[in-house]
Structure 1
């Protein structure tokens, strides 16, 4: 899909713009947007509203052909809801409808002339990025492992935004980069676990390094043993697939600037280990590496943007499998930090690989560390599939980081909700035989998981994103969502633009 900014002749206006389909907005109560009015020279558009063929309700559409005095072959009327109440929600609904309509047309080119600068609390740059994401999401298809590939979609392949100034080109570039990052994250998540192994993730990172000039380092088992990552290695014991510890570096900022570090959980398949999961829906445990996929997708986006910021990505990757070598409930392991852990449940493995990664990143003296993980079913119970769980300590530096992440989520529709993380919950992790247990029981399961990770992050500013409810969809729409790449990328963009708060 190609996106561009195009001018139109000042004399003929929109009516003289030649394209296969021109999308313009209409409001409820049978009111036309300014763009629609400029096209309605013979009253055909007003007549369509008056007849009730389109209500103007957000997302409703009506396709008109051969409108008198209009050069465009088709006019797509799109409902924008009530006039004066053009919000993020109505805009998103309108764009999804445009994307759907454009995909079925017999035209290869289309144009959009919506009032992008009139969305409440948002500017045109935000709208352009959102429009690109909506169109690309609607057009996403996964057929990598199908013998019969999906037939190429007909419809619009080139979309122009009308009425925008030249500055909007940077917003198009950002939107495309973000969409490309999300597509990579979706592809990695949707691949089967016999293909998307830890080695596959490592090779993907290497390819990104080649494509965008990232620094890349892949640590193997012997190096992990030398680093004394006993917690991480305990998870991989039962698998024949070799573990990989992936480090990506995008050093686009000043040499002296402390980096932002993203840590992504990379369990490429999670059987639960000896604490075996039920068989139903276990196939979806291929998505247990979506934290890793989101880090790679975010790097894909910021690499294409050539973001002026220092960002480091760290991905501990392995499988969690049962075998005669696998960790057992009751085993005690020593983490890289020197703290000992009693493994009461081998299915609480994500925190066991992340804790060593969180200790490893101390060497970077980071400005902030954000880990991303499909960590707990308890987070799905608490927040459903709408919001990612956000956990961090309660002090000024961490409150500032939480605010930045929440704002980035709201700006992209990739929303998060802040959850508590307090010392009282730490009591549930007590062990009679080790420094801590790896589970704290059913009550507040997502919180105690975050509390476990918090013990390894006290030398820097840190936040944890539990994406178990938002990284993929089940049922008929089964597939990876690409979240939280929009949240993370926007957070990093804000930091690069000086809009973030410096962490202690």
Structure 2
């Protein structure tokens, strides 16, 4: 999509040329200085009962008198960033599929401090509005005609608008990559495919990328990771990609993604209903690759390493069994009590591998537990952190990106259930606090650096009629990485 900015006074909106003029207004009164023609049309719509200056209200006027654009879309908004994003999305929903190829958008009545973030969210809302999955669906609706958006901005806002536009485009591209990878069927988005996507990113963005095959993984001693891959005919892949934007002496941020491209549950097989959605179990891998793309486009002065452990979890005569004991890369032995708790088994070896980079911080991202879905639903991702400062940074990044998370505890008492009579640790505890005990398992392998964990089981995809990947938490992760620039 082509995004542009045009310097335009708030009192000269009616003269703007576009297929649709979208005016998003914050507050419950007409913004001061609003174009007289537009203000008059707003008043008329209110008198007719077609519109209210109340958050959530939206109306489209066709060929409005005195306005050059063929359509005028009026959207009322609250004053917050979240409300602004919702209003823009609602307004764009009015023009989607209606032959509009060029929309001009004016954001009026918002605090100047919100401009940069609001522009970023406008870009993201526009990309969301036109997204249609079609990779394996020839019958999908034709691509949206909405191809160009002009942001009408004041001269004083030019710098903030440019920054928001740049970041918004990068995050949108990252979300698009993550979303498309997640939506592809598991016979297409295999571990090999994820490796190919990483290599393609390396070629297009000048990144260092290494994709290791099974022999290389075996040499590393990743017995826990490989135990999960044993039951599948698909070969595992261990992906390491590096963006180097700072001096080599600067410790990198490391993001680790869970890449289970299909999760049957293994021998502890899942119920059949909804199992097709287990193609989304590589949402963590998709999101860190998407974040890598966003960061590479923004080019911040930071070093970033992205690690993906990718395989399938399938039942077969070769598959790992409940009661098996495996040896992780760290040397710790693990009793596998449930083969459907496989994400932590691949992540623990990836976390040990991350030690070699002497990282400033490591954050792993995984569709890890159904327990997190029960706790937080699909609104916030579960977040764990080894220290308060890191937790605050992750939380702030989520709020800034409108991709929120919520911190959950890491009390040592929660690890009691992971004790085993036959290994150093069991891979599951009881049902209670399942997301927390999973995090406590991972924490054992992340003791040598600052560590955070995002459980995105509730936020990486949606079910039902809206079934599909969300691209979360690319926004959160991108803002977090940018916040670490020193």
TM-score, scaled to structure 2: 0.95
- Residue 233 of structure 2 is matched in structure 1 by 240
Q: Secondary structure at the match of 1:440?
A: coil
* 1:96 corresponds to which of 78, 89, 96: 89
Shift of 1:123: 1.9
How far, CA to CA, are the matches of 2:30 and 2:405 in structure 1? 36
Cα-to-partner distance string for 1:252-276 (whole Å, 9 max, x where unaligned): 1222110000000000001111111
Q: Secondary structure at the match of 1:34?
A: coil
How far, CA to CA, are the matches of 1:116 and 1:241 in structure 2? 55
How far, CA to CA, are the matches of 1:224 and 1:71 in structure 2? 62
Shift of 1:426: 1.2
- Residue 502 of structure 1 is matched in structure 2 by none
Indicate whether 1:166 and 2:158 are aligned.
yes
How far, CA to CA, are the matches of 1:9 and 1:286 in structure 2? 48
How far, CA to CA, are the matches of 2:63 and 2:95 in structure 1? 17
Structure 1 residues 458 and 27, CA gap change in structure 2 (3 angstroms): closer
* 1:478 corresponds to which of 464, 467, 482: 467
How far, CA to CA, are the matches of 1:448 and 1:249 in structure 2? 31
Equivalent pairs, count:
484
4+ runs deviating over 4 angstroms: 26-29
How far, CA to CA, are the matches of 1:35 and 1:156 in structure 2? 30
Shift of 1:118: 1.7
Cα-to-partner distance string for 1:69-89 (whole Å, 9 max, x where unaligned): 4333332211125xxxx1223
Alignment of 1:310-321 (within 5 A): 310-321=303-314
Q: Secondary structure at the match of 1:348?
A: coil
Contact 2:191 2:235 in 1 (8 A): yes
Structure 1 residues 253 and 231, CA gap change in structure 2 (3 angstroms): same
How far, CA to CA, are the matches of 1:382 and 1:45 in structure 2? 43
Shift of 1:32: 2.0
Shift of 1:104: 3.6
Alignment of 1:140-159 (within 5 A): 140-155=131-146, 157-159=148-150
How far, CA to CA, are the matches of 1:106 and 1:220 in structure 2? 48
- Residue 127 of structure 2 is matched in structure 1 by 136
TM-score, scaled to structure 1: 0.92
* 1:450 corresponds to which of 439, 458, 473: 439
Alignment of 1:54-453 (within 5 A): 54-81=51-78, 86-115=79-108, 117-118=110-111, 122-155=113-146, 157-163=148-154, 165-167=157-159, 168-393=161-386, 398-453=387-442
Gaps of 5+ in 2: none
Shift of 1:152: 2.4
- Residue 31 of structure 2 is matched in structure 1 by 33
Gaps of 5+ in 1: 499-504
How far, CA to CA, are the matches of 2:284 and 2:363 in structure 1? 11
Q: Larger deviation: 32-41 or 71-80?
A: 32-41
Cα-to-partner distance string for 1:125-174 (whole Å, 9 max, x where unaligned): 00000111111112111011013242122346333333254312232121
Shift of 1:250: 0.3
- Residue 21 of structure 1 is matched in structure 2 by 20
Contact 2:8 2:153 in 1 (8 A): yes
Shift of 1:304: 1.3
Q: Larger deviation: 283-292 or 105-114?
A: 105-114
- Residue 478 of structure 2 is matched in structure 1 by 489
